[in-house]
Structure 1
């Protein structure tokens, strides 16, 4: 397998074979990143393709100051955010106190959760909540950075995050009630 330097240099020369190798090596991981922001798989695929076009056009700006995968991920996230901004999914909630309670503290019990289950729950969030939740909880941005990235008020970022947490908690509690109200049946012989 080629190292990052050879991949980048080949892409800089616009070598189609190397570009394909880069695509094949990272497309799966980057598609998963797209899916965190874009619910519809076809739309996520379109965003991924747009991101790869940008990657190949701007590969000269990659300076090996970070891992290649991190740079690629940043391009994909920015492309997804640009796509989302065009759709204007932001609900302008200005008063955080009006929101429902947020997720419990760590000492409260929640059912054990698996990664795919959590991803599915996050995908079910409204677009604005899902985007802010991903940026804050998964990507590690703060609300000032999110507000700048999405061209929204910092308060909107905070309220979208609080709403996302509240909606996730409601879904978790509803699922927990379903599981506990329908225990598995045991048969006796």
Structure 2
């Protein structure tokens, strides 16, 4: 079975990789970005090869996967840019986790409390919350990575948020 999957994947890769790369290069206007997203897309395709084998038009599904991977990456980049802009606009957020010993002992205490509160979560919820909050993976991506249902992931994220709100109540304005 694995050999058939490899043969199917190789054929699909050979037929679509070049066009997918060129499509992404045109969208992103950056060869390195196109290369990264193409690679990420084909890793996703390999992980879900059975879905592609069963699809009536696997080539079309490749291009949908490539487009969606590109859009996901752009959303992540936009969230990061929005966060950086917000930090620049709000001077009180200039303190980073690495620089908590400077002129704001309250910020250092808050970051230490956040770290400590996350450590109190059950290990599986810590992992899910970390992937969601710090790695910026979507619940669907986390579910795929951990082989759990999306509902389970969303429930665990909400559980973590509620717990952290209670634990960190004194730091809220």
Report if TM-score (shorter chain) is over 0.5.
no
Q: TM-score, normalised by structure 1?
A: 0.37
State the TM-score, normalizing by the size of structure 2. Answer: 0.40
Higher relative contact order (CA 8 A, sep 6+): 1
